[in-house]
Structure 1
Amino acid sequence: MRELRGISLDPADLTYRQRLILAYAGGLVSVVLVFTGLYYWGMAALEARPRSPYQAFNTVIEVMTTTGFGADSPWETPWMNLFVAGMQVSGVAVGFVTLRVLVIPLFERTPVNLDDQLTVKDGHVVVAEYRRDSEVLLDELEALDVDYVLVESDREEAVRLSDDGYQAIDGDPEDSEDLQRASIGKADVLITDTDDRTASVVLTALEHNESLRVVSFTASTRRKAALAEVGVDRSVAPHALIGQRLAEKATTPVAVGEGASEEVAVREILVRRDSPLHGVRVRESPLASHPELTLVAGWFDGELRMPPSPDERLTPNTVLVVAGPAAVIDEVAGEIAGVQRSRVREHSRVVVAGLGEGGAAAVEALPDDVSVTTVDESPEANPDVVGDATEPETLEAANVADATALVVTVNDDATALLTVAMARSLSDDVEILVRVTDTEKATAAFRAGADYVLSVQRVSARLVAAEVHGERVMDPVSQIRLVRADASPFAGQTVATASDPQKGWTVVGVVHDGAVSTNQAAAIEAGDEVFVAGSDSAIRGFEQSVD
């Protein structure tokens, strides 16, 4: 269960109910202080019976709470009697207000209006329903400090999320009034996940805010053109997206340029769930801080970051691409529990199990020079092998034992896990990349024998969070290249300072007098050579700038 938030000192972060309670408390204190001052003056000036401030305060409390009148009763002057009577009436009124504002909401069975739990909104994100795992998405938004409101049509789910501290209200995202409750007119981004109702939701929202940026989830890529017509800026088909990214992950090899030395290796390191690196920032990891190693790239839930941001946190299933002496990489990987070397670097033959939206996208994303064998139990999908991927006969017919990679994009998580286990029993060498729907199934997939797992819930949430936060999401590339080049442009710098992360290429080593050094502090001199790693396009740009 997620912990409830406390009351923030920033007024903009207070909910309507919190602001009401503070205003009530402030008003009550002010009334008591005013009554105390008047009573203190009246007893001295009108009754000729001076009292201390503390005695005056105590009498005011007794009168307002109707618990007694103290030793000062009766009062002789008409004005003091009228004043005390007024305090009695105001005390009764304060009692009724206290019941309505504080006591009744705590004990009545009727749920509190969820709108009262919202903080002040401006420039926020409105999530018009989310049909995957709302908490995964909302946690991603909160981790990036992105303000939001979730409009959830299921009343019980909205109450549960609100009780857990999330900014959620119940309502129909097609209803104009419900969108206004979410301050749609002040929002910057609209996220929709409403299937066939998407067009209606988007058009209703745009009536109140024409400048909205709209990101929509859709079941099929075939709907993208139609959604663009109604105002959707970006459409995401999650299953197709995952299939595409699995294929790209499987076929992003390292190409070693002419003249490269065997003393500089590029390896993949997979962070497992039980690794001490879990939650550690990239810059604090032993791989990044090692003086002889360079982090070239990283796969974070299907996104290739080249090079990875030093502030990015390592999570289970993160794959880091590390450059340096092969022996040093193996030594460091061996010292860190919960990491594993990737089985295969280059894939020439890939089996795709499941030819739905995701499987078709994976096949389309695979390079032309990769041999592809498709498996599906439906003949209508026109696969190479018709059959159940969980059966050994089907996988043997697809010759999975001789494949370099298996991409699993079947529709059901249970089927996916069984397919992984069956494939692993038939081959220890094949690299298995699998898609699951439920984030919690990722751990089970690793245990079944998968090498790389992408969750639809997690990838969708990270993609949306990156979109609304304005992060640059790099398009996956066909290769990570390692080349050897003249070091003259970098003379006077070190291996650590010569890189250009903005342009996507990284200096990983220097050759001086025939000796290769990957030490980050190694100085670069005129006449030396450098090893540079990066994407195809980044290396082309580097070579052009050097020329």
Structure 2
Amino acid sequence: MVPGVQYMRELRDVEGLHPRDLTQRQRLLLLFVAGLVLIVLFYTIVYNWGMRVLEDRPQSLFRSLNTVVETMTTTGYGADSPWTTPAMNTLMVTIQLSGVVIGFITLRVLVIPLFERTPLNLDDRLTTKDDHVVIAEYQRDTGILLDELEKLDTDYVLIESDEEAAKRLSDDGYQAINGDPEERADLERATIERASLLITDAGDKTASIVLTALEGNEDLRVVSFTGSTRHEAALRKIGVDRNVAPHALIGQSLAKKSMTPAVAGERSDEIEIREILVRRDSPHHGVRVRDSPIVNHPNLTLVAGWFGGELRLPPSPDDKLTPNTVLVIAGPESELDEIMNEVAGVRSRRIEAPSKTIVAGFGEGGTAAAEAFPEDLSVTTIDNSEGCAPDIVGDVTEPETLRKAGIDDASALIVTVDTDSTALLTVAVARSISSDIEVLVRVTEGEKTKAAFSAGADYVLSIQQVSARLVASEVHGERVVDPTSQIRLVWADVAQFAGESLADARRNTDRGWAPIGVSRDDSILTDERTTIRANDEVLIAGSDAAIQEFERTVDAS
């Protein structure tokens, strides 16, 4: 970037900002400019007075300003020289010397740093912090995490031990400094004493960082990322409030996502629950929920939706349908079949119990996935290492290995292998063998999500994206809604709905549950215009927690 352009950009960027939002460099720049203006004005007024009183040559302030600027910049004196009185000559010498000093300061503070490879101490770019988040190392895609915090307008400081990475992030506008988070002094540079949350992702250094940080702020809330759940008890002992093992968490999530949401009630079979997965080639890719023909169907109810692995029950009308979006729709089977015939580029499956599941990759994530399944479900594990004690030792990218695991009869394949390249090849091979099996994949890099869909995956979770969302949720003291939360259906005699239409009863989206149908005269009515009568039974859909709260509320009333 041209130095002059950067200088003007910095001046522009400080306009309209609250002093608290200014970096140390921006504050220094403002002070410098303000001081320079005051000095020039002072000299102009004194010089104008001297020319009128001492030299007996009165002139305008503008001419005096011009002479002062010429003198300070050593470009000349114009038509006013020479001066006859000692006082005026002394003033001119003072102005000249001031100009030289200010010139050196300008070079050192503003000009030279623009040309240097490492222009400033990165601490100078930090804004004033209070009740902020300190991130002590982050071993995943740091940009994704910091972008998530920026979206939430959350104050943070990242301590990065890699000097080049810290400079790059700081140059990109992030609040990052270079330092060792195990050192108390470096934590203090991030104002750990005023922070509210510490996020650490530093491997074996985690315990040391947490203990050092708590010495500086014993009220600090601490979240740590680790590669395994084996250290959870030990980390809690030293003060970690929440320990997250992303591989295990995603493994559990994929396993639960492949299982059946629980359906309760004898007559619920008259209303079918179906998942509709939006694929990349869908004509509704990018369409908002409110504009979707699925959602606008009068006899169908949008119960929930998974957007990027997060469950929203029900989704916001402003949510966009993108690849990896899974909509949970309730309604009569005939209506569901009809809407499915109208919508191209989507693939649906009925909510039914999986017969057999294959877990490809039996490391931390694969183990967590296998353990998440009930004992009565057949699970076959594959890994190329005998040390993991899988059911089948072999290369998961080989068709023979997948066939040996029973892919032809399996209902789901969960891929939790070590590298994204292996995961993508496994998905492609599995899809070439079976077009019906549901493929759920874990990838590391967020940008590989699209590639996984192209390879044939039905559902993808990225370690980088999930980890960033977890951090963002912890900032607000909330848990990320598990993308595998179960959907339940219950019948209820609810007098509170009497006189309302189904559309009105569904309008409150903050409860986590919604009425999706009415039982009347041995039939199920799902048209949103249906008015609920006092003797009707209402079919309620929601997550486990929401349904439990609903039942407690009904019992209490």
TM-score, normalised via structure 2 length:
0.89
Measured in 2, the distance between the counterparts of 1:86 and 1:65 equals: 13
Shift of 1:326: 5.1
> Does residue 319 of the first structure (1) align with residue 299 of the second (2)?
no
Q: Quick one: which of 534, 541, 545 aligns to 2:542?
A: 534
Q: Quick one: which of 7, 27, 32 aligns to 2:35?
A: 27
One-letter amino acid matched to 1:135: G
Measured in 1, the distance between the counterparts of 2:286 and 2:223 equals: 28
Contact 2:200–2:225, Cα closer than 8 Å, also in 1: yes
> Does residue 84 of the first structure (1) align with residue 104 of the second (2)?
no
Q: 1:278–1:425: structure 2 CA closer, same or farther, 3 Å change rule? A: closer
Shift of 1:478: 6.6
Measured in 1, the distance between the counterparts of 2:78 and 2:121 equals: 42
> Does residue 100 of the first structure (1) align with residue 108 of the second (2)?
yes
Moved more, 81-90 or 274-283: 274-283
Shift of 1:246: 0.3
One-letter amino acid matched to 2:245: A
Q: 1:346–1:280: structure 2 CA closer, same or farther, 3 Å change rule? A: same
Q: Quick one: which of 512, 516, 529 aligns to 1:504?
A: 512
SS at match of 2:243: strand
Contact 1:251–1:478, Cα closer than 8 Å, also in 2: no
One-letter amino acid matched to 1:530: V
Contact 1:342–1:451, Cα closer than 8 Å, also in 2: no
Q: Quick one: which of 74, 84, 90 aligns to 1:66?
A: 74
The equivalent residue for 1:450 is 457
Shift of 1:310: 5.7
Q: 1:336–1:121: structure 2 CA closer, same or farther, 3 Å change rule? A: farther
Measured in 2, the distance between the counterparts of 1:91 and 1:373 equals: 80
Measured in 2, the distance between the counterparts of 1:73 and 1:247 equals: 88
The equivalent residue for 2:3 is none
The equivalent residue for 1:235 is 243
- Gapped regions of structure 1 (runs ≥ 5): none
Q: What are the residue-to-residue correspondences of 1:124-203 with 2, within 5 Å? A: 124-203=132-211
Q: 1:78–1:252: structure 2 CA closer, same or farther, 3 Å change rule? A: farther
Q: 1:12–1:544: structure 2 CA closer, same or farther, 3 Å change rule? A: closer
Shift of 1:485: 3.1
Q: 1:283–1:235: structure 2 CA closer, same or farther, 3 Å change rule? A: farther
SS at match of 2:505: coil
Q: Quick one: which of 422, 430, 437 aligns to 2:429?
A: 422
Q: Quick one: which of 28, 34, 53 aligns to 1:45?
A: 53
The equivalent residue for 1:412 is 419
Contact 2:423–2:441, Cα closer than 8 Å, also in 1: yes
> Does residue 7 of the first structure (1) align with residue 25 of the second (2)?
no
The equivalent residue for 2:26 is 18
Q: Quick one: which of 190, 193, 215 aligns to 2:223?
A: 215
Contact 1:477–1:536, Cα closer than 8 Å, also in 2: no
TM-score, normalised via structure 1 length:
0.91
Measured in 2, the distance between the counterparts of 1:120 and 1:343 equals: 54
SS at match of 1:228: helix
Shift of 1:366: 1.1
Measured in 2, the distance between the counterparts of 1:465 and 1:63 equals: 56
One-letter amino acid matched to 1:7: D
The equivalent residue for 2:6 is none
One-letter amino acid matched to 1:480: I
Measured in 2, the distance between the counterparts of 1:468 and 1:344 equals: 35
The root-mean-square deviation of aligned C-alpha atoms, in Å, is 2.8
- Gapped regions of structure 2 (runs ≥ 5): 1-8
Shift of 1:274: 6.2
> Does residue 351 of the first structure (1) align with residue 363 of the second (2)?
no
Contact 1:477–1:535, Cα closer than 8 Å, also in 2: no
Q: How many equivalent residue pairs?
A: 544
> Does residue 397 of the first structure (1) align with residue 398 of the second (2)?
no
Moved more, 526-535 or 323-332: 323-332
SS at match of 2:249: helix
SS at match of 1:482: strand
Measured in 2, the distance between the counterparts of 1:423 and 1:350 equals: 13
SS at match of 1:352: strand
The equivalent residue for 1:122 is 130
Contact 2:469–2:480, Cα closer than 8 Å, also in 1: no
